[in-house]
Amino acid sequence: MTIAAKKSRLIELIQQTKDDRAVAFALELFEVPENPPVEAWEDMPEEVRKGIERGIAQADAGELTPHDEVMAMFREKYKE
């Protein structure tokens, strides 16, 4: 079933339902808040902040592993 067909079927089901809970669930599922909460840097645990800072410092120093190398390591490890 294509994504378009799935969307059409979903619309049909929503239009036909008389279950308020199903409609409320669908609204909650697709609702995106206008101003999603963002965790403030100061509110993060110190360990998390230090980890982020360490990662930024490593990236700034060029201590990065290219994506293709990481993928090759995982393919080898998990024999994909």
Task: For 29-80, write each residue's pLDDT tens digit.
Answer: 888 666 767 778 888 899 999 999 999 999 999 999 999 999 999 999 998 6
- Dihedral sign, Cα of residue 70, residue 72, residue 77, residue 80: positive
What pLDDT sits at residue 39?
72
Q: Domain map of the chain by residue range?
A: 1-32, 39-80
49 contacts 41 by C-beta, under 8 angstroms:
yes
- Return all residues near 52 (Cβ < 8 A) that are at least 6 apart: 44
pTM value > 0.75: no
